[in-house]
Chain A
Amino acid sequence: MLMHDAVIELVGVTQRFAAPQGTYTALANVSFHVGRRRFIALVGPSGSGKTALLNLMAGLAMPSEGHVLSSGQPLKNLNRTAAYVFQQDALLPWKTVRQNVRLGLELRGRPDEALVSDWLRRVGLDGFSEYYPSQLSGGMRKRVALAQTLIVEPELLLMDEPFGALDIHTRLRMEAELLELWSASRATVVFVTHDLEEAIALADQVMVLSAGPASRITGSFEIHLDRPRDLMELKTNEQFLSLYRTIWTTLRPEVMPR
């Protein structure tokens, strides 16, 4: 059944890639939908096709079988309602912080310097607007990436292990900032991570992907933790721990087979 209030919906999606020995099936018959303004986390071991899923939702890749629907319409090209925060550094190294944040508006032909300044302030980088990415720390670069994607007010925000390369404390701070920015924007978020704690702490719903090849969704869990969440306290909270234990029993066999 098509869910027309779904921002993004996958219907029987299978994804194959050409590989040295024949074809490699990354995703097999994956179906799910993401309701408006929800925060979904996808967890799974390495090679479980998490990035492939995001690329499908972004329209950067097309499914071998099945359909991807964006607000009910089949996605045939780039998803113009989506923004993507990549795992690797994707800032343009030859542009300053301000130019990087401005880029999305500039490409759409509606530059708005006041809005750029506003976003630089929101991510705490107003003092660094003329710096180049190479002169910033990893956490600051992620903040620029967040401002760069959120400034275009995407309906759907796709995030591929955005904080994976950060140290644990910077990461905690960035997670808190992300929740704050998200609650102000109320975009729909699909957040990919291999870290179950991070997934539970941030999301409304956690979906578990099986190990590849032919990954599929093996479990989906609602996270009924109150918002706003205090990430510093949350992880010792009894409710959090019991959710962790429940989901881990599903994730564990994928991470450690046998």
Chain B
Amino acid sequence: MTVRTGRILVALGLFGGWELSSRLGLLDPFFFSSPSAVAVRAADWLRRGTIWPHLATTVFESLAAFVLGSLLGIATGILLGRSSKMAEILAPFIQVANALPRVILAPMFLLWFGLGPGSKIALGVTVVFFIVFFNTFQGVHQVDPVLVDNVRMLGASEQQLLRHVLLPSALTWIFSSLHISTGMAIIAAVVGEYLGSTRGVGYLIAQAEGVFDTTGVMTGMFYLALVVLGVAAIVKQCEQRFLKWKQPAPAPSEETL
């Protein structure tokens, strides 16, 4: 049995079982909906085009949070990775900040940045930043000292050292966390929308939930799943491109998401 047929079988079992129990009355369709109802609703949203602005909003917010959070995380990671004194001074603050449950911040961000994308991006940045920061820090900190010595002996300035050794080393760590950080950016966007917004997949889900429309909730989740699968495919492509030198070691599988 190939992986592909295995996956199809699992999907058939899950959704077939769900559809069947819903039709046979084992699951109340009011509370659990059914795959066929979700499919009809998804097609309906697509035909009327109502899903596009919401999808675009969520994707934009996730992307912005991912890019901003990554840039901040990489910059801070390199800075602290190169200066152990500064890293030691800031360590307790970073630990406390990272331990804060981000969901608690969401209402604050709503107050500060309003109902629009700003508050969702801010929430996403606080999540993505720490993941990327910790990985960059590790990457810079744990770079093989022999590589640093070798490149310095070959004549590298501090800046060239950064470009040829520290950044590429950190990049492998950042890439290893890319699935998590992109996933978290999407979750943060949706949670932010869910808590208060006027647009986005999270908003759709919250609206449907407000009127006990389980089919609507499930359909929102269906579109979210599509976004996540798309992002995972892009991440995998990037990994193969940027970590080409790591082959033939098998690439970490995307199924861990």
Inter-subunit contact B146/A83 (CB<8 Å): no
Q: Which of B144, B155, B249 has the most CB of A within 10 A?
A: B155
How distant is the Cα of A175 from the Cα of B149 in the complex, in angstroms?
A: 24
Q: Is B152 an interface residue (CB 8 A)?
A: yes
Main secondary structure of the interface of A (DSSP, over half): loop
Which of A10-18, A26-34, A100-108, A199-207 lies at the binding interface?
Answer: A100-108
How distant is the Cα of A96 from the Cα of B168 in the complex, in angstroms?
A: 13
Inter-subunit contact A83/B154 (CB<8 Å): yes
Partner of A58, one of B153, B157, B245: B153
How distant is the Cα of A96 from the Cα of B247 in the complex, in angstroms?
A: 12
How distant is the Cα of A94 from the Cα of B174 in the complex, in angstroms?
A: 15
Main secondary structure of the interface of B (DSSP, over half): helix
Q: Which of B146, B160, B172 has the most CB of A within 10 A?
A: B146
Inter-subunit contact A107/B160 (CB<8 Å): yes
How distant is the Cα of A59 from the Cα of B239 in the complex, in angstroms?
A: 38
Q: Which of B133-156 contact A (CB under 8 A)?
A: 144, 146-147, 149-156
Q: Is B23 an interface residue (CB 8 A)?
A: no
Contact with A along B159-170 (1 / 0, CB 8 A): 010001100100
Contacts of B155 in A (CB 8 A): 80, 104, 107-108, 152
How distant is the Cα of A78 from the Cα of B248 in the complex, in angstroms?
A: 36
Q: Which of B43-86 contact A (CB under 8 A)?
A: none
Which of A85-93, A120-128, A183-191 lies at the binding interface?
Answer: A85-93
Interface size on A, residues (CB 8 A): 28
Q: Which of A102-117 contact B (CB under 8 A)?
A: 103-104, 107-108
How distant is the Cα of A89 from the Cα of B165 in the complex, in angstroms?
A: 14
How distant is the Cα of A251 from the Cα of B144 in the complex, in angstroms?
A: 33
How distant is the Cα of A103 from the Cα of B156 in the complex, in angstroms?
A: 9
Inter-subunit contact A103/B245 (CB<8 Å): no
Contacts of A149 in B (CB 8 A): 153-154
Q: Which of B166-201 contact A (CB under 8 A)?
A: 168, 171-172
Inter-subunit contact B245/A134 (CB<8 Å): yes
Contacts of B102 in A (CB 8 A): none
Contacts of A89 in B (CB 8 A): 146
Inter-subunit contact A134/B249 (CB<8 Å): yes
Interface residue ranges, B against A (CB under 8 Å): 144, 146-147, 149-157, 160, 164-165, 168, 171-172, 244-249
10 additional A-B pairs beyond A84-B153, A90-B147, A134-B247, beta carbons within 8 Å, are A78-B153, A82-B153, A83-B154, A86-B150, A90-B146, A92-B168, A95-B164, A133-B245, A134-B245, A134-B248
Nearest 6 pairs between A and B by C-beta? A90-B150, A132-B245, A104-B154, A107-B155, A84-B153, A94-B168
Subset of 13 A-B contacts with CB under 8 Å:
A58-B153, A78-B152, A78-B153, A80-B155, A82-B153, A83-B153, A88-B146, A90-B149, A103-B164, A107-B154, A107-B157, A148-B154, A149-B154
